[in-house]
Structure 1
């Protein structure tokens, strides 16, 4: 049998097994579900380093040390946020309405190569917390590390009492397999994290989907900001796992009066400003002739990127910076770059910076994330009211703030971009996005109450029925 046919059959088998398992799991109490989640988190903690090293070696993206932290974030940090979350059975009761958590069924979890093991951990945990089963579709370039991650979670869940087949993972990774997973009638919801084409396919599959678009967040350093701290946060973010988190900064915008100070601080902290020839060389390496990003740049260090594009830079270089004036799809520096590369724009004032950031987001990244460093609350609020983003992060690293690591946003590896970004939600995705709520509502009024008619105001005396009817009709006509 052809490989694509084998992969399609595998998906159908996984979904059938998961459907049977989920129907049993749907009868579990909140306590039983929470015990399974706890045991999965406790087990995965023992493998964070191994899985991080597997992901870094298999994909060539980022560095394993930062991937350990991402795995920990997607398990232990996430667990602290969801452990007391009510998702099963009666959720709350007030005003004669009871809300009941209802699992969706089977979640199709599409996993990217940029954050493979952490995203797999996160999606399996939030799916099961909401009472669902889950079938994982690994990115082919991160297949082994994702399969190993799911295997560990699956065994831990089974030991804790989860039905066999509740967690599945595709071994024969093909486009046909992923398509079958998305379109199969047993799939209840697609949770899609990855490239723009894949997310579009999820939304056009005919199955309900939650997807995320590309990030391309600018970072505005406003004149009242602590410049040294702002630069530190931006470079911390852009170098974390070599910039593969989509919420990381892609451009820096400054006002004219702050330009010199910010540039000096960037250079002091390890940023290298490219000259025109160097910028052209790197730009040609970043953007391919078909207008898409070169996958060879993803998750590489600044030194490696310089080497690949034929540029000599100091050995302490952390980030490559290109000073720009143009924003367009043809300018690689004004696009999403999942690597330690930044564009640098200078504007006359904060109003012009505001316009520039909107221009950047309209090219790519609408609905995702933006960062502002400022102590001026009026400016911050002006940005909040105007920017087409779902997350405006203030005085924090973009990569870690967007996912909820250095902010109080919900911890998540899937960040909704809202309608403006082509997404079905603007939330950081949690178990609450993977469940339906059934509402039981008691009657609190009668038809007469809605019409403003009180039964007690009309009484029929003996022999006067006709008069009563006329009075009721007259009252109704006069309202």
Structure 2
């Protein structure tokens, strides 16, 4: 689908004008350094076989400063130059780049995770650190294997070839992990990349890019394999979407930015929004279900797009399930407390039939902090708030990113599945079920037709974390690529030799 520039620009402005707001009460939003122990003038990283000079310290801007650029034209030009050089390198050189990213994320996880938390002010620092440590699970060059066909008429080879420069938009929810995981996939496939990060996570993203690029240059002799806009704006995002030097778009974000990518004339790989429902039927292991819901719904304070957002449980097991939740780190709110929280978390829609307006000051806050906002004190160790609502509560239809999960009492399993289908909204992202009935699980899976369908486990199991498979921080739902891998960023190239 092709749309005119003014249409795309309007949508991009819509999303970035929202995402670019600094958190209320946080005048230093966008800073990394502040009161932490990080030293101004140097990036105190443990690099992969190299040292980082003092000149690569705090994030500077300008041409060629270890990948950080003031404008899109320079960033794309540098990435294109790096792409030409990368084509002359070996698959082993690409593997070296992948290894460097994984090792640096592992070794600097504590430092960079705390820096990201300090800048963005959302989520949990222990999970910020963990998300960097698990970059080692993102697949690399091992996925790039040619296919061969031989016979009486000769030999045909199909190779997975790169596109060129990928233009990537990254979210504030996982600023550096998404960037690092995307680098592993994109460079393993032979591409280079220019990032336009979320404005509220740009500092830590630039810190990572500078450190990576210095190590890449030392290891394989190419600068600017990864470039980034140091001060991302509405204009810079729009330029990335339209720049003739960008061959493919990778967009990870909410509905508006996903819509903008889908309206672009370029090939777009879009990791869009989700509102993952959970069904618990009467055959389920209720203790395991409760534990899984808490683990998934509380992870990084429910910032994950795959995270459990609402639960549909049938009447006959509803009350025992609610009791089990409290044994696994959940704290149950009363009807009055939920009403108070809902009024705090959402404002009424601006127009009839519109979406409730989410209070962004609550996004990614700890369960104890949110409870305190409504005058409730929760026990130490509380991971998740939960309680019974009906489907009219905005926590059910809206993709809220905070550690409160509504539970809806249903008549039976079929009623639960029907509601799950309704409130997933056709995003095709993620759905979950807890059941011992194979037929029920099969029926729900076919109906939901989501990219991720998790049975009897927490949501992250669908990304190889506690389940089988591989990890990625970009799950392309509306465009159908699914959990992205190096193959996502390749084009098939066929060569035939005739006998």
TM-score (norm. length: structure 2): 0.80
1:299 is matched with which residue? 364
1:27 is matched with which residue?
88
Counterparts of 1:49-64 in structure 2, within 5 Å, are: 49-64=110-125
The answer to whether the 8 Å contact 1:220/1:371 transfers is: yes
| Pairing partner for 1:82 from 115, 122, 140 | 140
Q: Quote the Cα distance in structure 2 between the aligned partners of 1:288 and 1:432.
A: 42
Label 1:355 to 1:443 Cα distance change in 2 as closer, same or farther (>3 A). Answer: farther
Q: What pairs up with 1:362-441 in 2 under 5 angstroms?
A: 362=425, 366-398=427-459, 400-417=460-477, 423-441=478-496
Match of 2:131 in 1: 70
Distance in 2 (alpha carbons) for counterparts of 1:311 and 1:122: 38
Return 45-54 or 29-38, whichever deviates more. Answer: 29-38
- Equivalent residue number for residue 350 of structure 1: 413
Which residue is 1:457 aligned to? none
| Structure 1 ranges of 4+ moved more than 6 A | 6-9
Alignment of 1:183-332 (within 5 A): 183-289=242-348, 290=350, 291-327=356-392, 331-332=394-395
* 1:413 CA drift (Å): 0.3
Structure 1: gaps spanning 5 or more residues: 1-5, 418-422, 445-479
Q: What is residue 122 of structure 1 aligned with on the other side? A: 181
Q: 2:422 — aligned with what?
A: 359
1:45 equivalenced with 2:106 (yes/no): yes
Deviations 1:72-125 (A, max 9, x none): 112x111xx3342226xxx12124431022111011121111111111110111
Q: CA 1:324/1:334 → structure 2, altered by over 3 Å: closer, same or farther?
A: farther
**Alpha-carbon distance, 1:385 to partner:** 1.2
Q: CA deviation at 1:130?
A: 0.6
Deviation at 1:389, TM superposition (A): 1.4
CA contact (8 A) 1:195 1:214 kept: yes
The aligned counterpart of 1:159 is 218
Q: CA deviation at 1:201?
A: 1.6
**Aligned-residue RMSD, C-alpha:** 2.1
Distance in structure 2 (CA, Å) of the matches to 1:245 and 1:228: 23
* 1:475 alignment partner in structure 2: none
Structure with the greater alpha carbon radius of gyration: 1
Q: Distance in 1 between matches of 2:233 and 2:404?
A: 32
Alignment-derived partner of residue 168 in structure 1: 227
CA distance in 2, matches of 1:112, 1:254: 32
Q: Deviations over 1:353-394 (max 9, x none)?
A: 1111111112xx620001111121111111111114111101
Q: What is the aligned residue count?
A: 423
Q: Is the 1:410–1:429 contact (alpha carbons within 8 Å) kept by the matching residues of 2?
A: no
Shift in Å, 1:60:
0.9
Q: Which TM-score applies when normalising by structure 1?
A: 0.84
What is aligned with 1:474? none
* Cα contact 1:26–1:103 (8 A) shared by 2: no
Q: 1-side partners of 2:302 and 2:415: how far apart?
A: 27
**Displacement, 1:395?**
1.3
Contact preservation (8 Å) 1:182, 1:202: yes
1:341 counterpart = 2:404? yes
The separation in 2 between residues aligned to 1:331 and 1:66, in whole angstroms, is 27
Q: How does 1:173-184 map to 2 (within 5 A)?
A: 173-184=232-243
> How far apart are the structure 1 equivalents of 2:100 and 2:424?
41
Query: How many angstroms apart in 2 are the aligned matches of 1:162 and 1:351?
Result: 59
Gaps of 5+ in 2: 1-61, 63-67, 351-355
For residues 156-191 of structure 1, give each alpha carbon's deviation from its aligned partner in whole angstroms, at most 9, with x where no partner exists.
211111522221111121111111112100011111
Structure 1 residue matching 2:467: 3-state secondary structure: coil
